[in-house]
Amino acid sequence: MFRYRPGPNTLELFLEPRQPGRMKAPDNVVVAPWGDVWFAEDSGEGRNRVVGISPEGKTYAFASYRGGESELAGPCFSADGQTFFLNVYEPGITIAVSGPFESAGAAGRARMARSTPPRELGSLVSGELREAAARRGIGMLEAAAYGRFGLPLD
């Protein structure tokens, strides 16, 4: 999972779990009102979930859908942060889940932007990539994004 940082205009490889099953095919990402990232996970094995991850790296399943091979999509929160919406491709429905959900405002949402991925969810950065990042003066998460895309740093 990548994180874009508009201030320095950088793309970082933020989460890349190395444990099987920790995150499976994450897509359709939304930042929850309290700062956690929620994403739809569609494994293609009939296991479709909405999974959350906190800035501290704690992962948890919020919801699951076992509707055959259908896929979850479009997770989003209402403007007041008290209703969570989720679409199911087949049969073409939208689900609304009413809170109350925690609301920490902009300060809560900014927590993820400042957080560092936990060791077990961060990407592995080789010594060669670390050296190239140091020569270029960029951070490890940005260097990991270059590495993941196979782009040279030198």
Pairing status of strand 59-65 against strand 48-53 = antiparallel
| pLDDT number for residue 15 | 78
- Distance (Å, rounded) from C-alpha 9 to C-alpha 16? 21
Among 9-13, 68-72, 100-104, top mean pLDDT goes to 9-13
- Could you tell me the CA-to-CA distances from 21 to 16, 18, 51, 60, 120 in Å, in that order? 12, 9, 12, 12, 13
The pLDDT assigned to 1 comes to 80
Backbone angles phi, psi at 151, to 5 degrees: -95, 135
Q: What is the largest CA-CA distance in the chain?
A: 52
- pTM of the full structure: 0.74
Q: Is 114 left (phi over 0), alpha (psi -120 to 50) or beta?
A: alpha
Q: What percent of the chain lies above the pLDDT cut of 90?
A: 13
User: Distance between CA 54 and CA 38 in Å, rounded?
Assistant: 9
The pLDDT tens digits for 60-100 are 889 888 766 678 889 999 988 899 999 988 888 999 999 88
Q: What is the pLDDT of residue 45?
A: 65
Question: Within 13 Å and on the Cβ side, how many CA atoms surround 143?
Answer: 19
The mean pLDDT value for 129-151 works out to 86
Whether the Cβ atoms of residue 85 and residue 69 lie closer than 8 Å to each other: no
